[in-house]
Chain A
Amino acid sequence: MKLIIFSARTAALAFVLAVLAAIPAYGQQGKIQIGQLDKLSDKSIEMIDVTVDESLLQLAAKFLNDKVPDQAKVKELISNLKGIYVRRFVFENEGEYSTGDTDYIRSQLTTPAWSRIVGVRSKKRDKNINVDVFLMSEGAIIRGLAVIATESKAFTVVNIVGPIDLEKLSQLEGKFGIPSLELIRTGSEPRPEPEQTTKPPKE
């Protein structure tokens, strides 16, 4: 009798603890840890670091004009997002970042919750370009998007947390006066990149 009571109490306590532990973890669904990449800023000649959490997204949404079509699209796109996290590093020479840096990111995306929907490998103009797109979804609802783009001299990680419309996202390129980024050039001349935390070139 005492043994039964003890085991029932233990099971109930374990259940409660498991549920309580799951609560904070629930809010982080779809988010990957990319803070480890900040150590690459010392080696890079250019770094873009964008961290937009839910409160900042809501603040930005208030300042987006509904009457301007592009801004209205952005407002609609970010209305249910929980966060947008971007890291982009550009290096002067090839080989200045290792696969170990990217493997740390990829290891978080090997869980069953994430599925790789696009994997692209290209060697154009002697640039090894790899782009992997990962999606976390629960049924028809997208919980998160992760994009890893590696080149010989650049490395980009994008993590969007929350339900995102990929079609609407792809339509935003080249808008708002921000030039598109130089990832792959198929023939045209490179366009200037936005100045964000640009470091002076190493002497």
Chain B
Amino acid sequence: MSRIDDELRLIYGRKEPSPDFTGRVMQQIAARQTVAPQTVAPPVSKKSLWQTLRETVEMPPFRPKLRLAAAGLAACLLVALFAGQYARREAPAAGGPEVAAQAGSPSGTTGKADGGEEIIPAGNVRPAATTPPRATARKHAHNIARSNKRVREEPIDEKALAEGNAAKEKVMLALQIASSTLNEAQRIVQGDSRRGDR
């Protein structure tokens, strides 16, 4: 019994720590604190714009709306592109004969003209913003009239003249045939209706 008592006293007896015990513990704590921040904190990486956009698109509230918006934008771009192409194609065709008619016609500015050239009024007057000042208006009209006279005096190329006249004849023949065909149909219809009235 005494032996057991003695052994128990030995085991549970208070023992004083060694003098350097505290220092050693503090050193271990400090060492852990210097190592731990490097391994625990993850590196901060910069997100690229594409990743940000992708995450935004994949977010549930925005997904269907953004897709619709993208599709609508693409459709609008296509329509605008083809509208521009259409306008570009139609503009020269519409302006062809009118351009030819206005070729050589002077603008509606005031002032004398050389050689009795008639200044075309009203229809061809330039907008107010582009009208030259009064001091240069006469000079401008004079120059235009002189260039018109020069154009008229230049001999027209014979080949171009022949081509133009041939084109004119072709057009008139074609229209003549079309007109005759339509009128004959009209005569038949009118003839039948007269017979019906009788």
Contact = CB atoms under 8 A, between A and B. Distances in A.
A56 B163 CA distance: 9
Contacts of B168: 60, 63-64
A186 interface: yes
B180 A173 contact: yes
A16 B181 contact: no
Interface in B81-97: 82, 85, 89, 93-94, 96-97
Given A56-B170, A184-B188, A172 B181 contact: no
Chain B's interface size range is: 35 or more
A78 B93 CA distance: 12
Interface string B163-188: 11101101111111111111111111
Contacts of A85: 174
B165 A63 contact: yes
Contacts of B78: 15-16, 19
Nearest to B185: A131
B80 interface: no
B164 A63 contact: yes
A19 B85 CA distance: 12
Nearest to B189: A120
A197 B181 CA distance: 20
Contact of A60 (B82, B167, B181, B185): B167
A186 B191 contact: yes
Nearest to A176: B172
A122 interface: yes
A180 B178 contact: no
A116 B93 CA distance: 28
A141 interface: no
Given A61-B97, A122-B188, A183 B181 contact: yes
Nearest to A179: B176
A8 B163 CA distance: 54
Interface of A: 8, 12, 15-16, 19, 23, 27, 48, 50, 52, 54, 56-64, 66, 74-75, 77-80, 82, 84-86, 88, 118, 120, 122, 129, 131, 133, 145, 147, 149, 156, 158, 160, 166, 169-173, 175-176, 178, 180-181, 183-184, 186, 194, 196
23 contacts: A8-B67, A12-B71, A50-B173, A57-B167, A61-B97, A63-B164, A63-B165, A78-B171, A78-B175, A84-B175, A85-B174, A86-B173, A88-B177, A120-B189, A122-B192, A129-B188, A147-B178, A147-B181, A170-B183, A180-B176, A183-B181, A184-B184, A196-B173
